[in-house]
Each structure stands twice: as C-alpha cells, then as structure tokens.
C-alpha cells in the first residue's frame, strides 16, 4: 500500500510517498480504509526527531495521528465494530501511520464517526478534541462560572477548547493575532487578547485555568493571571516526573524532566497554584463522548485547508509555519 513516510529524522526532512507493507491485523484490531487524515504539530515534532527519546520509532515510519475512514476487516476478538462502519480515531502512539491507504487500530481507540460530519471534518478532530477534553474535563475539571484562558485560540486545539470550555459553563478568554479576533469571538470566546497589541498578563486576572500550548515565556507569564489555587496546564511542555513515570521512561529521563520543569513548578508553587503537563492519550470512549457533543452542535470542526494525499509534504509545511486557522487535513485519493 502507499504511505507517506520518513526514513530519517531532521527539520530538513521532507518525506515521501512510498510503498509500505500492508498492516498486520491483531485479534483486537480493526482495519480501516483511510478516507482522510489530519496533520498535527505532533507530526512535525516526530519528523524533526524532537520526540525520539520518548517515542522510539523504527524507520522508515509512516506519519499521521488522526484518521477517519471505513472499517474493511475486524480481528477475531473485535465486538464493537464490523466491516462497513464509518469510524474515526487517534491510534495509539506506538502504532501511528494514518498518512496511508490503510491502518490497523486497536478497537478501544476507535469510535463511530459523528453522523453529521464528512470524513474530512471527522479526521480533523480526534487528537485535538481528546487533548481539549483531557485538559478541561479530566485534569482541570472545569465548572460553570470558572474563568479559563486558552492560548493560541485559532489553532487546532484552541478552536475545539474554546467551544468545549463554553459548553462546560466557563468564561473563556483566548489569545490570537489581530486578524482572528472577531472570528474567535464568533466561535464563542468571551474575551480575545490580540497579542500584537495587548499583554495578556496585564489584561487578565483571577483565572481558574490556563491551557498553554506555546513557549516557556508565555508559560511563565501565564502564572500571573491565575488566582490562588488556579491550574496551569501545558500541552507543549515542559513535562513533569509523573509523565515520565506514566511512559515507563528510565531514571535519566525522569531526572531530566524533573530538571526541565523545576523553574515553572517553583513559580506556580510560590503563587499557590498547580502545574500539570498533559500528553494526550488515545481513548475511544472519550472520543465517543465527543461525538455526542459534535452531533448535538456543541463542537464544530474548523478546517483551514484540505490537501490531496499527493501533497502531504505541503500539508506538513503548512502546519509547521504555525499560521493555520483550525486544522489542515489530507484527503486520500480513491484506491
């Protein structure tokens, strides 16, 4: 089958479409014909080699962490799906490769595709929607009336997180550039900070939760907007010791992560707040809950650009530039 692969790591690596072996179907797997797959910043980081210490892949590697498609075949132990089912998923990190014609995914990571979405729309959601869910619902446990700041509101995670936080009853602020201010207000944000003209740390105060997806400077400044007891949650790092333990990483990496997160942990402790790092995990049950929100109109996918499979390298370059409004999606060509 055809897949978009890399055979080495590096920022200058482009990747290519090549022939790869057909997926091996285990007893609990579903074989999915890929109709669409979306591109995430995670794909760029994997290609660049930034995560090879915690995600040690074998090269050549097919990229891709989101998928929507149709079940072709099921393993002997599969009970939740059958051939012909329309599904979407974020595969387990050890078995990525959705930039391909077919992929085998363990059934517990798969959910029925929302009936009101196209394949392209559905493919845009799994990773970013699960990230927003695991930050706001699972970790922060956002309650009605709380104040939530979501950085980079126009990005893939940000567009979903704004909608989810509003659904949870929060007052939502976000940061973006001038061109996106009115658009994010229409998406549901109560207050939009134009970072080109405003300092969010001066404009905002007494927030219960901050979702950070940006760099260390923004992370440090975010502590200033939190109330006592507030939660600073980052999906861009630095990771903490608990994450290293959850990934089964060795003692040297555990100590490295303890060191990398020392400064921000000390800062939030002095402010009587907490710091968490969330590395999204695949979860079909949570994805099914998200499907219900999508079908009821609470969450609407935001698509920036759709590329054909032949132009996957261009889609990665688009995401790497960091200017996409919502998600960049790859639409597979008919087999």
> pLDDT (tens digit, 0 to 9) for every residue of the chain, 335 residues total?
999 999 999 999 999 999 999 999 999 999 999 999 999 999 999 999 999 888 899 999 999 999 999 999 999 999 999 999 999 999 999 999 999 999 999 999 999 999 999 999 999 999 999 999 999 999 999 999 999 999 999 999 999 999 999 999 999 999 999 999 999 999 999 999 999 999 999 999 999 999 999 999 999 999 999 999 999 999 998 888 788 777 777 878 888 888 888 899 999 999 999 999 999 999 999 999 999 999 999 999 999 999 999 999 999 999 999 989 999 999 996 54
Q: What is the pLDDT of residue 295?
A: 98
Using alpha carbons only, give the angle 21, 25, 27 rounded to the nearest 5 degrees: 165
Peptide bond into 60 cis (omega under 30): yes
Neighbours of 306 (CB within 10 A): 18
Only one residue has tokens 């007494």, namely 206
Q: Phi and psi for 18 in degrees, rounded to 5?
A: -145, 170
pLDDT of residue 206: 98
| pLDDT the model gives residue 335 | 42
What whole-number distance in Å separates Cα of residue 159 and Cα of residue 177?
14
Q: For residue 180, what pLDDT is reported?
A: 97
Per-residue pLDDT at 334 = 56
Confidence at residue 244, expressed as pLDDT on a 0 to 100 scale: 77
As a whole number of angstroms, the distance between CA 279 and CA 295 comes to 26
Q: What is the set of domains in the chain, with CATH numbers?
A: 2-124+302-331 (3.90.180.10), 127-277 (3.40.50.720)
Q: Beta strands 29-39 and 67-74: pairing type? A: antiparallel
């Amino acid at each position: 089958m055809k897949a978009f692969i890399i055979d080495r790591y590096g920022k200058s690596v482009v990747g290519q479409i090549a022939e790869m072996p057909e997926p091996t179907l285990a007893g609990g797997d579903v074989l999915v014909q890929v109709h669409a797959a979306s591109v995430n910043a995670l794909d760029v980081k994997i290609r660049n080699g930034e995560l090879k210490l915690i995600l040690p892949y074998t090269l050549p590697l097919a990229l891709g962490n989101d998928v929507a498609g149709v079940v072709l075949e099921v393993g002997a132990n599969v009970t939740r799906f059958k051939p012909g089912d329309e599904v979407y998923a974020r595969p387990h990190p050890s078995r990525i490769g959705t930039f391909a014609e077919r992929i085998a995914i363990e059934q517990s990571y798969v959910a029925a595709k929302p009936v009101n979405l196209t394949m392209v729309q559905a493919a845009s959601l799994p990773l970013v929607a699960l990230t927003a869910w695991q930050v706001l619902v699972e970790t922060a446990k956002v309650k009605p009336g709380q104040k939530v700041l979501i950085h980079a509101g126009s990005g893939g995670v940000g567009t979903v997180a704004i909608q989810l936080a509003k659904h949870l009853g929060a007052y939502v602020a976000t940061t973006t550039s001038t061109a996106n201010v009115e658009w994010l207000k229409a998406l549901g944000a109560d207050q939009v900070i134009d970072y080109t003209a405003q300092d969010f740390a001066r404009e905002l105060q007494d927030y219960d939760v901050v979702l950070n997806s940006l760099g260390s400077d923004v992370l440090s400044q975010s502590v200033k907007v939190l109330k006592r007891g507030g939660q600073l949650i980052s999906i861009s790092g630095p990771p903490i010791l608990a994450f290293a333990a959850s990934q089964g990483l060795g003692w040297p990496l555990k100590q490295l992560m303890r060191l990398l997160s020392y400064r921000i942990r000390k800062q939030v402790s002095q402010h009587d707040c907490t710091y968490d790092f969330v590395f999204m995990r695949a979860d079909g049950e949570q994805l099914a809950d998200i499907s219900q929100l999508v079908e009821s109109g609470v969450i609407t996918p935001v698509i920036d650009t759709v590329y054909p499979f032949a132009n996957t390298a261009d889609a990665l370059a688009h995401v790497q530039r960091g200017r996409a409004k919502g998600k960049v999606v790859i639409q597979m060509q008919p087999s």
